Amino acid sequence: MNQTQLEILNLVSYQLKMSAMQTEDSYEHTVYENGKETTYEINREQHLEEIMKWAVQELNNNFELEEIK
């Protein structure tokens, strides 16, 4: 494992822990697409789903993982 991968693991771990500890009812998410920024409000369940999707994306982008079937 290289330094970048270690940093990614630490970031993913931190974000998952922080998201689990947060208890707000709604969250603001910002999406950047085609040079455009869009901010929208989502509930806690949607927030946790988005954080998990982000975590999986970060792991897939930085590690060679076998696909689970």
pLDDT, mean of residues 1-6 = 94
* 69 within domain boundaries: no
Q: How far apart are CA 5 and CA 9, in angstroms?
A: 6
What's the pLDDT score for residue 7? Answer: 97
65 Cβ contact partners less than 8 Å away, ≥ 6 residues apart: 59
pLDDT in tens, 4-61: 999 999 999 999 999 999 999 999 999 999 999 999 999 999 999 999 999 999 999 9
Contact 32, 40 (CB under 8 A): no
Task: State which residues form the domain around 19.
Answer: 3-62
* 68 within domain boundaries: no
Domain tally for the chain? 1
* 33 within domain boundaries: yes
As beta bridge partners, residue 32 has 37
Tokens representing 57? 């994306």
Contact 37, 29 (CB under 8 A): no
pLDDT at 67 over 80: no
Global pTM reads 0.81
